[in-house]
């Protein structure tokens, strides 16, 4: 089942169960998807794919994490709790993320596959990771690991 169908199903259930916080987050996801549809229409493309939905959800997750960090610095636990709740809801619809060990293993495999030998080859390695593990890998972590591996 597509990610968006899962979001819609969860939204309907949340509306029936009167879970207002959950409804707000799910409606934000639906709204972001509609924005993407409008953007694609101007580019003469038809539908929002699962890959597009993963990108949308990752962007929303990144925004929530940045807000969470600011709320912790400002000692606003009430707002931090709200952001944490939204993060949990968004993560429900993302594919299972690779663990740190799995990310490191994937990086080593991609380096050997691309025959990378220096930091100049990092783009090739990242492209391999993106093609094989799109939506399941933390690219900031992968970037750190790749820099470390390709330096030596």
109-152: pLDDT as tens digits: 888 888 878 888 888 888 888 888 887 887 888 888 888 888 86
Report the predicted TM-score, pTM, of the whole model to 2 decimal places: 0.75
- Rounded to the nearest 10 degrees, the angle between the axes of helix 50-73 and helix 3-16 is 60
Residue/partner pairs of 95-104 with CB below 8 Å, 24 or more apart: 95/54, 95/135, 95/136, 96/136, 97/136, 97/137, 97/138, 98/133, 98/136, 98/137, 98/138, 100/141, 103/137, 103/138, 103/141, 103/142, 103/145, 104/145
pLDDT digits (tens, 9 = 90+) for 19-72: 999 999 999 999 999 998 888 888 777 788 888 898 899 899 889 999 999 999
Domains and CATH numbers, the chain: 3-91 (1.10.1510.10), 100-151 (1.10.10.410)
């Amino acid at each position: 089942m597509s990610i968006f169908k899962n979001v819609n199903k969860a939204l309907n259930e949340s509306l029936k169960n009167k879970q207002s916080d959950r409804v707000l987050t799910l409606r934000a996801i639906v709204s972001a998807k509609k924005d993407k549809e409008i953007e694609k229409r101007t580019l003469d493309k038809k539908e929002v794919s699962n890959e597009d939905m993963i990108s949308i959800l990752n962007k929303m997750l990144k925004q929530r994490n940045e807000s969470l960090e600011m709320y912790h610095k400002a000692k606003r636990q009430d707002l931090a709790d709200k952001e944490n709740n939204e993060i949990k809801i968004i993560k429900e619809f993302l594919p299972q993320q690779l663990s740190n060990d799995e990310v490191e293993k994937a990086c080593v495999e991609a380096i050997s596959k691309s025959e990378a030998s220096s930091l100049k080859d990092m783009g090739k390695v990242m492209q391999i990771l993106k093609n094989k593990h799109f939506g399941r890998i933390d690219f900031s972590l992968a970037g750190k690991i790749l820099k470390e591996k390709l330096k030596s």
